Amino acid sequence: MACGTIKTLFTSHKVGSASCHWSATAKTRRPGRDSVAICGARVIDGNTNTVNSTTTVKEVPLATSPFILSGSLMSRTLRPETHDDQERAVIGNGKFGRFGGKFVPETLMASLNDLEAEFRSVLHDAQFQVELETALRDYVGRETPLYLAERLTEHYKGSSGEGPEIYLKREDLTHGGAHKMNNAIAQAMIARRMGRASVVAATGTGQHGVATTAACAKLSLECKIFMGTKDVEKQSSNVLLMKLLGAQVKTVEGNFKDASSEAMRNWANNLETSYYLPGTVVGPHPCPSMVREFQSVIGKETRKQAMEKWGRKPDVLVACVGSGSNALGLFHEFIGDEDVRLIGVEGAGMGLDSGPHSATLARGEMGVYHGAMSYLLQDSDGQILGPHSIGVGLEGIFPALEASHALAYLNKLCPTLPNGTKVVVNCSGRGDKDAAIVFNSSL
């Protein structure tokens, strides 16, 4: 599914023989149902019934979010003390159809159960919710703009002068330069609440590492970040920033998968004093539910801003899919809306048949990854393969490579849309960290 060269208003580069986009296929939301199977990077395009044209996705109910819309800011409301069936399906056992769960050693079970209990508690704690809302507003910089990309919109109108309107949800403008801070500050607050002195995390691009380190600095927590050698080489600016913010950066031979394994191992050896802070919707329960909860502010704001700007919901939402946190953050609010199309875009890298790509949904197989069942890129021995991605830029805004995959998909999407369609793309992070990679790839 490659189309060669992807072009935007200002930049065009060719990546091997393939473009850097791939739309993750999934299921149709049937009338009267507000649920979907979603775990890890599993997101949906409501136009199809299958995954990879053969795998049927089972639906399970999703919990409602603890956010409500009020005034100019997002106001948080407490969950009722009694959990309904929908909430129990997600928070109760962490299973999403065949996916999710706890596939961990028995030694971790008690700590994960304690974490789940604390997670339930903060959802009902008025003081915590007020503190979190204040942190999101004053420290993280929420709410983020829903920005009309006028020149990109004009670019896709064509000779007829008709086409969709393209908006960017500017998560790249948050403190730290990415959506990762939404989750990092909330979980760092939970770590402090649980009496943990230090936080352990793994990072690939460095965005989650920077966000976690900054949150820990604000809350006077020690921070240890694990990062693969390959990522350290590519993301040296973020490594330097983490060190300047006070983190111990531990280099692990390999990539993000190896760094994550080492971070969890370190946490397992220090359960009484440390807190493992995941940045993605993967891992053992309750980790995916927690990340989803704290990232869902993206979609809540998007709904509110759309109503303010044009008086109705968006027609199409587009987000890149790596491990899924930014996509789920945008999509979760709209899963129950039958008339909103949700599109997840994976990185095709050097081509789906080339090996170097990030298309876990398109070409992955089921397996256990860091304590949860998910779709994975694996070799013939069941070992997890490292993903490969490259992206492009757009009008005066330099998005991260991850977000560039979603933007690149507009080339394929926009010609199919009716005039005036409201399209929102999640610009999940800024591209400072990727400047050298993009520049060198264009030589």
Q: What is the pLDDT of residues 298-323, one digit of tens each?
A: 999 999 999 999 999 999 999 998 87
The more confident residue out of 77 and 264 is 264
100: left (phi over 0), alpha (psi -120 to 50) or beta: left
| Pairing of β 274-276 and β 248-252 | unpaired
Look at residue 216 in the predicted model and tell me its pLDDT: 98
Cβ contacts of 272 within 8 Å, gap of 6 or more: none
Q: Mean per-residue pLDDT for 148-173?
A: 92
Q: Where in the chain is the domain with CATH 3.40.50.1100?
A: 5-62+145-176+296-366+374-441, 67-139+180-292
pLDDT in tens, 18-64: 233 333 333 333 333 232 222 223 333 433 322 232 222 222 233 33
Closest CA to 371 of 297, 301, 276: 276
Distance of CA 108 to the CA centre of its chain: 25
Look at residue 402 in the predicted model and tell me its pLDDT: 82
* Nearest-angstrom CA–CA distance, 281 and 329: 10
The answer to whether the beta carbons of residues 410 and 318 sit under 8 Å apart is: yes
Q: Mean per-residue pLDDT for 268-272?
A: 96
| Pairing of β 365-369 and β 274-276 | unpaired
Look at residue 170 in the predicted model and tell me its pLDDT: 97
pTM for this prediction: 0.74
Look at residue 435 in the predicted model and tell me its pLDDT: 72
* Nearest-angstrom CA–CA distance, 69 and 111: 34
Q: Which CATH architecture has domain 67-139+180-292?
A: 3-Layer(aba) Sandwich (3.40)
pLDDT, the chain, mean: 74
- What's at 245, amino acid-wise? L
Domain 5-62+145-176+296-366+374-441 sits in CATH 3.40.50.970: no
C-alpha distances in Å from residue 215, one per residue of 17, 143, 219, 242, 429: 41, 18, 6, 11, 17
Closest CA to 242 of 255, 225, 218, 259: 225
The more confident residue out of 137 and 204 is 137
* Nearest-angstrom CA–CA distance, 250 and 232: 10
Look at residue 102 in the predicted model and tell me its pLDDT: 73
Look at residue 88 in the predicted model and tell me its pLDDT: 53
The more confident residue out of 66 and 378 is 378
